[in-house]
Amino acid sequence: MDNWFKLKERGTSVSTEIIAGITTFFTMVYIVIVNPGILSSTGMDFNGVFIATVLASIVATLIMGLWSNYPIVLAPGMGLNAFFAYSVVGGYGVSWQVALGAVFIAGLLFIILSLTSFRYMLLDAIPSSLKHAITAGIGLFITTVGLQNSGIIADSESNLITLGNLAEPMTYLTIIGLIITVVLMAYNVKGYLFIGMVITAILAWIMGLFQMPETIVSMPQGITTTAFQLDLAGVFSNGLYTIIFTFLLITLFDTTGTMLGVAEQAGLLKDGKFPRSRGALLADAVGTTSGALLGTSPTSAYIESSTGVAAGGRTGLTAVTVSVLLALTLFFTPIVSVISGIPAITSPALIIVGYFMINVINKINWKDLEEAFPAFLIIILTPLTHSIATGIGVGFIFYPVLKLLRGKGKDVHPIFYIFAVLFFIQLVFLDH
């Protein structure tokens, strides 16, 4: 085991890696509850998505741990699942089977990119200001979803949205759950999101907002309702080319950014470079592709991996430990399905994840109009249009236009002009 994971070389031990894996698991396990809850809103079977979520996470994380030897965990990404459910299926009006087809194609492209140096060119073509803007815009979008699902904000005839009825039991329990989770977060309690969900679930049960299932443990079943149900032909008949591109784009730089951050924290970068990056990116690409086949949205590296690194995790054994624990959750489908159906339990997690994602807004140079204004459009239009693709598209169009008008067209990467043209065609001439 030491030879495989290089435990001594990285100054760690089996016990330390296992503890780190347990720490990471409790900080990210909320996704096995939240992701099926979000995707089931499209008509997908909850049990099928739950199993697909766990299996895709295990596949990607095992590749990361066993091949690349990094303490990094992958699972269906927050933001990508919201984009899948609320923008692609809800906004474009296509079936979830077609949406899975788009994810699968994006995954195949990701695999190809991971095997070539073109992935670096694609990442370099996108200005950092727009990368940060996309993250922040998705964060606002996720927070909006959490606020709407819980009833804290509601539709209004006179305004776009207004304050909801805070006297509703589900709404004020959401507020209580949010306060509990934020307090846990303020005191640096490991696994605060998951612990907050558990405490809120107990309160919901006491208030009579849900009943415990007859059985807590059961054999996994239902994967056949989502596995291999993707509709590839529907992707092309509906012209979802920019949707494929958006899935690919977000997954690529979100995963790369997270991996670099966690690797740097663990002291695993060499001369500022990311060793074995090909295997690490392939882990996400294979996870996304297999996830689409099984029935879930794209996977992404989880920043929660940093909690395991803080606990001493330095090798892939941390990731393998998380995979084993994820496998055990497969047998708790009854309780997971009940909990995920209570907005007060899942909404605080959405709101807080949005908070973390919008933190990158301070990395944008707001004094540079050419950089800041397209970023502003992405951030504001993503939640207002309820479409991540629309927000990205408008920002990607405005950026080169402003540069050209300012006589700085050469500052824009040639590939970026292709991005702008594709988004312009999609927004102006195609349904969106």
Residue-wise pLDDT for 50-86, tens only, equals 999 999 999 999 999 999 999 999 999 988 999 999 9
Instruction: With a cut of 60, say whether residue 432 has pLDDT above it.
Output: no
Nearest CA among 315, 236, 326, 307 for reference residue 67: 315
Cα 411 to Cα 91: distance, rounded to the nearest angstrom: 34
| Predicted pLDDT of residue 272 | 61
Give 273's DSSP letter: B
Q: Where are the alpha helices (DSSP H) in 207-240?
A: 232-237
Please state the rounded mean pLDDT for residues 190-219: 88
Instruction: With a cut of 80, say whether residue 157 has pLDDT above it.
Output: no
Token representation of residue 159: 């305004």
| Predicted pLDDT of residue 425 | 84
Please state the rounded mean pLDDT for residues 44-48: 96
Mean pLDDT, the chain, whole residue set? 90
pLDDT confidence bin for 430, thresholds 50/70/90: low
Instruction: With a cut of 70, say whether residue 197 has pLDDT above it.
Output: yes
pLDDT confidence bin for 266, thresholds 50/70/90: confident
| Predicted pLDDT of residue 253 | 73
Note the pLDDT tens digit of each residue in 99-155.
999 999 999 999 998 888 777 777 678 888 998 898 889 889 889 988 998 999 988
Cα 21 to Cα 87: distance, rounded to the nearest angstrom: 34
Instruction: With a cut of 80, say whether residue 331 has pLDDT above it.
Output: yes
End-to-end CA distance of the chain: 51
Percent of the chain past pLDDT 90, that is, above it, reads 56
**CA triple 320-324-327, angle to 5 deg:** 135
91 vs 237 pLDDT, higher one:
237
Note the pLDDT tens digit of each residue in 358-401.
888 999 999 999 999 999 999 999 998 887 888 988 999 999 99
| Predicted pLDDT of residue 47 | 94
Residue 117: half-sphere exposure toward Cβ, Cα within 13 Å = 0
| Predicted pLDDT of residue 172 | 94
pLDDT confidence bin for 431, thresholds 50/70/90: low
pLDDT confidence bin for 1, thresholds 50/70/90: confident
Please state the rounded mean pLDDT for residues 31-57: 96
Token representation of residue 19: 């503890």
Domain boundaries, the chain: 7-148+213-335
Residues composing the chain: 432
Please state the rounded mean pLDDT for residues 352-359: 87
Instruction: With a cut of 70, say whether residue 87 has pLDDT above it.
Output: yes
- Which of 50-54, 202-206, 427-431 is least confident? 427-431
Instruction: With a cut of 80, say whether residue 223 has pLDDT above it.
Output: yes
Is 99 within 8 Å of 93 (Cβ atoms)?
no
**Most confident listed range (288-292, 332-336, 382-386):** 288-292
Instruction: With a cut of 90, say whether residue 237 has pLDDT above it.
Output: yes
Give CA 165 to chain center in angstroms.
30
Cα 355 to Cα 366: distance, rounded to the nearest angstrom: 20
Instruction: With a cut of 70, say whether residue 273 has pLDDT above it.
Output: no
Position 380: which residue type? I
Global pTM exceeds 0.75: yes
Is 381 within 8 Å of 130 (Cβ atoms)?
no
- Which of 266-275, 307-316, 356-365, 393-402 is least confident? 266-275
Cα 176 to Cα 160: distance, rounded to the nearest angstrom: 26
